[in-house]
Amino acid sequence: MKYALVLVNIKGLGVKTFSYLIPDEMRSIIQIGQAVLVPFGRQGLINAFIVGFSDYLPGDFKAKKINRILDETPLFSLKYLKLLEWVANYYCTDFVTVLNAALPMKLIEKNAKVEFSVIYMKDEGEGLTKRQREILQALKERGKCSLIEFEEQVKTTRTTMKKLADAGFVKVSEEYIYRNPLAIFKDIKTEPLYELSGEQITAYEGIRSKLKSPNPILLHGVTASGKTEVYFKLIKDVIDSGRNVLFLAPEIALASQLTKRLARKFGIKDVAIWHSSISDGEKYDVWQRLYKNDSKILAGARSAVFAPLQNIGLIIIDEEHESAYKQTNPAPRYDARVVARRLAQFHQAPLLLGSATPDISTYYYAVNNNNLFEMKNRFNNSPLASPQVINMQEYGKAAYRGIISKPLQSEITETLARKQQVILLMNRRGYSTYTQCRSCGTVIECPDCSIPMIWHSSIKKLKCHYCNREMSFPDFCPACGSDALSTSGVGTQKIEAYIKELYPNVRTERIDSDILTRKNAHIELLNKFQKGEIDILVGTQMIAKGLDNPNVTLVGVLSADSGFSIPDFRASERGFQLLTQVAGRAGRGEFKGKVLFQTYNPDYYAFQSAKSQNYEKFFETEIKARQEFDYPPFSQIIRLILSSQNNFRAEKSAMEIALRLNTMTDKFGFSEYLETLGPTPCVIEKLHGFYRFQILIKNKLSQKGHDFVSKFLNKITLPKDIKLAIDVDPLDIL
Q: Kindly list the residues in this chain that would bind Zn ion in the complex (CB under 5 A).
A: 437, 439-440, 442, 446, 448-449, 464, 466-467, 469, 477, 479-480, 482
Q: What is the CA radius of gyration of the chain?
A: 28
The string of DSSP codes covering 418-460 is TT-EEEEE----SS-SEEEETTT-PBPB-TTT-SB-EEETTTT
| Rounded Cα gap, residues 320 and 453, in angstroms | 32
Instruction: Enter the DSSP assignment of 212.
Output: T
In sequence order, the 6+-apart residues with CB closer than 8 A to the CB of 166 are none
| Rounded Cα gap, residues 70 and 525, in angstroms | 44
- Helices 615-628 and 360-368: crossing angle in degrees, nearest 10, is 90
Query: Given phi > 0 = left and psi -120 to 50 = alpha, else beta, which region is 245?
Result: beta
∠ at Cα 608 (602, 611), nearest 5°? 100
Q: Is 322 helix (H, G, I), strand (E, B) or coil?
A: coil
Q: 556 near 424, Cβ under 8 Å?
A: yes
Instruction: Output the smallest distance, CB 724 to Zn ion, in A.
Output: 22
- DSSP lists the bridge partners of residue 425 as 539, 557
| Rounded Cα gap, residues 129 and 410, in angstroms | 77
Q: 284 near 35, Cβ under 8 Å?
A: no
| Rounded Cα gap, residues 32 and 244, in angstroms | 23
Q: 732 near 563, Cβ under 8 Å?
A: no
Q: How far out from the chain centre does Cα 722 lie?
A: 28
In sequence order, the 6+-apart residues with CB closer than 8 A to the CB of 290 are 272, 274, 298, 307, 308, 309, 310
Four-residue CA torsion sign, 330, 335, 336, 339: negative
- The 3-state secondary structure of 547-570 reads CCCCCEEEEEECCCCHHHHCCCCC
In sequence order, the 6+-apart residues with CB closer than 8 A to the CB of 269 are none
CA dihedral 640, 645, 649, 651 (to 10 degrees): 40
Q: Is 85 helix (H, G, I), strand (E, B) or coil?
A: helix
What kind and span of H or E run contains 269?
Answer: none
